[in-house]
Amino acid sequence: MKKMFGSIATFGKRNFLKEARNEGGNVAIMVAIALPFLVLAIGGGADYARTLAARSKLQAALDSATLATYKRYAGDPAQREAELQPYFDRVLRSSLQERFERQIEIVGEELLLDTDNNTLRANIEAKFPTTFMRLVGIDPVVIRTTSEVKAGMNFTEVALVLDVTGSMEGARLDELKRAAKSFLDTVNAKLASGDPQGFKVSIVPFAEYVNVGMDKRNAPWIRVDDDVVVSKDIRECRRTCDNPQTRPRCRWEGNPDVGMREVCEGTEQYCPDGPGTREECTTVTDWHNVRWEGCVGSRNYPDNLQDEGYGANPVPGVMNLPRNPDYPADTYDGWQPWPDNNCPAQPIMPLTPLKTNIDDIKSRIDALQANGFTYIPIGLAWGWRVLSNNGPDDPFNEGADDETVRNRDVRKIIILMTDGMNRMAPNVDRPGWSYRDHSWRCEDPGACDASQYADERLAELCARIKEKNPATGRRNAEIITITFDVSDNGIKTLLRECSSMGSYDAQSGQLSEIFESIASSLAELHISR
């Protein structure tokens, strides 16, 4: 039995070794067959990674060259593709100087200048050598890529919201006019030939009110009282003398240090009883034309922070004279003396294409006059309204609507400039008051309810404007703020927090430089693929 078992074990060992030799041979054959494919797969992955890196390098160089070439074209729009091509080639190749990048062989270029849409498109075909994939006949690989550059200012709408309060009178207003016109010139100089409607500008002068223009009197979004003629009786009295006397008319002449002498010439009457004993009074009727000159006040809170709902809550027109809210709407005799509502003389200029209307826009700036006190929210609110376009029944509809904003990548930007802090606020939200003028005034802005109220509304309005519009996927408008010769740190901080595209603090003599810097940044080109 033991012998039989040993024979069986010996037989099994011999067969196992035989089978092992047979399987080992098969594995070796399989490995020999599969090894080139394994090497090719690993090497192909390495080649693929190198190709992706080469594509990335080529795209960066192409973007840089296309951008630089378009900037060159924007400086001299008379150039054509043939003139731009040598410059494009030099910039492109100068960006591919590293050892790895020099392996990229550019075999085809296409430069397409579209003056109608103000774009430059570059198409590139290049070859890049492989290492492992050449073993199967793939060498080199072909890389094709594209870059397109267009002027970012092609579709831009800017509202210049400018402080024209009384503190701006004189040298400050002159500097503002120069700065605003230099802004226009700087942008216009960078505008290449293209869509003349591409860059639009609005002027929104503000003080305690804004002037929307008298042509808006019967618009569906506004409510204006009728013009009226009102009067009040003024009693004027003086005393007369019952017993006038005559005396010489004399005067002293000479130098007090040397000596004085009295000189008398002629006579004069005087009253020995003092100012007189008999009073004579007359009544004078003072007449005034109470009229609307284009200015508007504020809607009820929070509608004054919104750009909608004008049918239910229209914008109130403000007459040239304020009225006592305790009297009917046509009664203006509650005040002594007759005050002025300080309506800015220059109305809002709606969005206007800069390229074809620059002289007209400059004339609007030259016509600015300084008057009144400061309520910044009214300027900012109308800067927003002049940019928006919610339909024909809204205050202004020259701006791009939501669909156009999406399709044409329109940027809406408010540039707000002020030289002071809030000193006025709407009476409509003041306890016990109902009229919607802005005569709630601060004599001491540092400790005044009206100033605090106006600051709170300004902060809320800034946040509302910077909210994302779900219909466009972007903010209602971007905000740039400029304080000009402002010493109050509170309003500086508030406007700095209000901004979304930058905040500037200008001293006297610096305003033009800041406006030119903003103009240049808005005119920067951007790349789109």
| C-alpha span between 155 and 523 (Å, rounded) | 11
- Grouping H, G, I as helix, E, B as strand and the rest as coil, residue 190 is helix
pLDDT digit string, tens, across residues 154-209: 589 999 999 999 999 999 999 999 999 999 999 888 775 556 778 899 999 999 99
- Name the percent of the chain lying above pLDDT 90: 37
233: its two tokens: 């009786």
Is-contact 348 207, C-beta < 8 A? no
Task: Pick the most confident of 243-257, 308-322, 364-378.
Answer: 364-378
- What is the structure's pLDDT at 422? 92
- What is the structure's pLDDT at 361? 97
At residue 6 the predicted structure's pLDDT band, cuts being 50, 70 and 90, is very low
| C-alpha span between 171 and 268 (Å, rounded) | 49
Residue 349 host element (H or E): strand 349-353
- What is the structure's pLDDT at 290? 84
Whether the per-residue pLDDT at 395 is higher than 80: the answer is yes
Determine the average pLDDT of the residues in 300-328: 83
Among the residue ranges 33-47, 51-65, 386-400, 421-435, the one predicted with the least confidence is: 33-47
Determine the average pLDDT of the residues in 6-16: 44
- 3-state SS track over 363-425: HHHHCCCCCCCCCHHHHHHHHHHHHCCCCCCCCCCCCCCHHHHHHHCCEEEEEEEECCCCCEE
Whether the per-residue pLDDT at 392 is higher than 70: the answer is yes
Which residues make Cβ contacts (< 8 Å) with residue 501, sequence separation at least 6?
413, 478, 479, 480
- What is the structure's pLDDT at 275? 66
Task: Pick the most confident of 33-37, 91-95, 465-469.
Answer: 465-469
- What is the structure's pLDDT at 5? 35
More reliable by pLDDT, 266 or 332: 266
- What is the structure's pLDDT at 406? 85
More reliable by pLDDT, 76 or 359: 359
Determine the average pLDDT of the residues in 321-332: 62
| C-alpha span between 288 and 239 (Å, rounded) | 29
- What is the structure's pLDDT at 521? 83
Q: Domain extents for the chain? A: 2-139, 154-226+294-528, 230-287
| C-alpha span between 58 and 98 (Å, rounded) | 12
More reliable by pLDDT, 335 or 244: 244
Whether the per-residue pLDDT at 274 is higher than 80: the answer is no
- What is the structure's pLDDT at 22? 52
Is-contact 465 476, C-beta < 8 A? yes
| C-alpha span between 251 and 206 (Å, rounded) | 55
Residue corresponding to tokens 């005067």: 251
Beta partners for residue 110, in sequence order: 123
At residue 461 the predicted structure's pLDDT band, cuts being 50, 70 and 90, is very high
Task: Pick the most confident of 283-287, 338-342, 428-432.
Answer: 283-287
Is-contact 420 375, C-beta < 8 A? no
In DSSP notation, 209-254 reads: SEE--GGGTT-TTEE-PPPEEEEEEEEEEEEE-SS-EEEEEEEEEE
211: its two tokens: 């002037």
What's the mean pLDDT when you consider all of the chain? 82
Among the residue ranges 31-40, 181-190, 493-502, the one predicted with the least confidence is: 31-40
More reliable by pLDDT, 447 or 509: 509
Whether the per-residue pLDDT at 310 is higher than 80: the answer is yes
pLDDT digit string, tens, across residues 215-247: 999 999 999 988 888 777 777 777 778 778 888
Q: Determine the CATH number of domain 154-226+294-528.
A: 3.40.50.410
